[in-house]
């Protein structure tokens, strides 16, 4: 079994959750925050048998879209010492997936 840690955009999270639940996958949903944008995102934890991994990855791919967003970064203007903010385009998602070996899966 593998533990998938799947970070997705909030707008995709419920569609992905529904698509996975429809096929009886067991999921834990966490409300998380991205370190770079400091905006809310969603992290799903899924314990998945090896033979189901392709199916799960396929569902994730179909339900999570790449999007472009804008953020601002601070740029010190060297002459004045005053900080300016500069807009910056960022590509987010579709999904970031960590796949971890599970030593034991116990439900008591």
Minimum distance, C-beta of residue 8 to ligand 2BA, in the bound complex (Å): 8
Q: Which residues bind ligand 2BA (CB under 6 A)?
A: 7, 34-37, 41, 90-93, 96
Helix (H) or strand (E) holding 14: helix 10-22
Taking the C-alpha atoms of residue 27 and residue 21, their distance in angstroms, rounded to an integer, is 8
Q: Which is nearer to ligand 2BA, 74 or 80 (CB)?
A: 74
Taking the C-alpha atoms of residue 42 and residue 72, their distance in angstroms, rounded to an integer, is 22
Minimum distance, C-beta of residue 90 to ligand 2BA, in the bound complex (Å): 4
Q: Which is nearer to ligand 2BA, 80 or 91 (CB)?
A: 91
Q: Which is nearer to ligand 2BA, 21 or 31 (CB)?
A: 31
Distances (CA, A) of 85 to 2, 40, 70, 76, 81: 42, 22, 12, 8, 13
Report the residue closest to ligand 2BA, judged by CB: 34
């Amino acid at each position: 079994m593998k533990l998938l840690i799947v970070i997705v955009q909030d707008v995709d999270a419920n569609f992905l959750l529904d698509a996975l639940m429809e096929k009886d996958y067991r999921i834990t949903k966490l409300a998380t925050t991205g370190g770079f944008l400091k905006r809310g995102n969603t992290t799903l934890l899924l314990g998945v048998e090896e033979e189901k991994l392709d199916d799960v990855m396929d569902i994730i791919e179909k339900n999570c879209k790449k999007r472009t967003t804008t953020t601002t970064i601070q740029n010190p203007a060297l002459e004045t010492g005053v900080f300016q903010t500069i807009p910056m385009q960022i590509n987010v998602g579709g999904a970031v997936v960590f796949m971890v070996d599970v030593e034991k899966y116990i439900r008591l």
